[in-house]
Amino acid sequence: MPFDASPRTRLTDRPSVLPLRLDAVALEAGRHTLIDSLNLELDRGPRTIIIGPNGAGKSLTLRLMHGLIKPTRGAVTWAGAAPGRRRRMRQAMVFQQPVLLRRSVAANVRYVLRVHGVARAERAARVADALERAGLAHLARRSARVLSGGEQQRLAIARAHAIQPEVLFLDEPTSNLDPAAALAVERMIDEIHAAGTKIVMTTHDMGQARRLADEIVFMHRGRLIERTPAAAFFADPQTQAARDFVAGQLLV
Ligand SMILES: Nc1ncnc2c1ncn2[C@@H]1O[C@H](COP(=O)(O)OP(=O)(O)OP(=O)(O)O)[C@@H](O)[C@H]1O
């Protein structure tokens, strides 16, 4: 049920972050180049899935996009502007290990709504809606810390969705989950995308990448090797590294 929020609490009134651009972005640590000359522009629409072998730089790329870390060279811009607090409020990020407050399930969602300026009178309905979507309504009063891994991740995603982000980053959100729990998370991601949120996600699960991706960004050794519509990527990758990766032969 869409909320008919008052102008004061319209979460979507903040400045846009799209298109999100990385221009010649590099990240160095000592003599090591972790991310190398990355150019990428993301706009609303397609679900972008970033794949590549361990250590390719997928997580770092998400963190650079979200403004959690700064590049040592190049620039990250959100709708033409440097990353800043107000624009960051239009984004949410979900990690492999859900980061939850030591409070009840409902209080976890209520907290982010408060931080995002949603009026107290609206919060209860929004919390109920978020938990309903996540299939967690019956656990609303339980401590978030005692939930199963799948329930915790659904809560983390429901909490992210509750703030109606323009962009949702997900860093291997199902890697600790069994197949049924992973599918429940995928359904939520689909719903969030259908509601208009841009999805940018990393995964190691090729089945999941095939199910969810509209486009694939393939990374290897800190570089963007190719960016291709998903169907074309899996049918006929453009580069040898991507072909080897899809065939399961490229491990590092
Ligand atoms: N703070 C840091 N200092 C030095 N090296 C780092 C730091 N953070 C990450 N790295 C290195 O940067 C490389 C890329 O890391 P990143 O976590 O982005 O890889 P990834 O593609 O997400 O890998 P995985 O699939 O294993 O999660 C790795 O070799 C990692 O060891």
- My answer on whether 177 and 246 are in the same domain is yes
Q: Is 60 in the pocket of ligand 1 (CB under 6 A)?
A: yes
Q: Is 56 in the pocket of ligand 1 (CB under 6 A)?
A: yes
User: What is the H or E stretch that residue 76 is in?
Assistant: strand 73-78
Whether 58 maps to a domain, the answer reads yes
Mean pLDDT across 128-147: 96
Q: First CA to last CA across the chain, in angstroms?
A: 45
Rg (CA), the chain: 18
- My answer on whether 60 and 76 are in the same domain is yes
The residue range of the domain holding 154 is: 101-163
Interatomic CA distance for residues 124 and 211, integer angstroms: 34
Q: Is 97 in the pocket of ligand 1 (CB under 6 A)?
A: no
193-244 pLDDT tens trace: 999 999 999 999 999 999 999 999 999 999 999 999 999 999 999 999 999 9
Mean pLDDT across 44-63: 96
- My answer on whether 187 and 71 are in the same domain is yes
Output the six-digit token pair for 144. 């978030």
- My answer on whether 142 and 235 are in the same domain is no
- My answer on whether 179 and 252 are in the same domain is yes
Q: Are 166 and 42 a contacting pair, CB within 8 Å?
A: no
Interatomic CA distance for residues 29 and 72, integer angstroms: 9
H helices present in 18-119, as ranges? 58-66, 85-88, 105-115
Mean pLDDT across 177-196: 95
Interval between CA 216 and ligand 1 midpoint (Å): 20
**Listed residues 148, 163, 178: the one ending a domain:** 163
Interval between CA 168 and ligand 1 midpoint (Å): 21
Q: ipTM of this complex > 0.90?
A: yes
- My answer on whether 190 and 232 are in the same domain is yes
Q: Is 173 in the pocket of ligand 1 (CB under 6 A)?
A: no
Which of the four pLDDT bands, split at 50, 70 and 90, describes residue 1?
Answer: very low
- My answer on whether 59 and 69 are in the same domain is yes
- My answer on whether 143 and 251 are in the same domain is no
Q: Report pTM.
A: 0.93
- My answer on whether 170 and 106 are in the same domain is no
Whether 11 maps to a domain, the answer reads no
Domain count, the chain: 2
- pLDDT for 107 beyond 90: yes
Interval between CA 12 and ligand 1 midpoint (Å): 33
pLDDT of residue 249: 72
Higher pLDDT, 7 or 112: 112
- pLDDT for 153 beyond 60: yes
Q: Is 68 in the pocket of ligand 1 (CB under 6 A)?
A: no
Q: How far is CA 227 from CA 38, 57, 154, 173, 223, in A?
A: 12, 15, 29, 21, 11
Q: Is 29 in the pocket of ligand 1 (CB under 6 A)?
A: yes
- My answer on whether 83 and 25 are in the same domain is yes
- My answer on whether 159 and 209 are in the same domain is no
**The CATH number of the domain where 68 resides is what?**
3.40.50.300
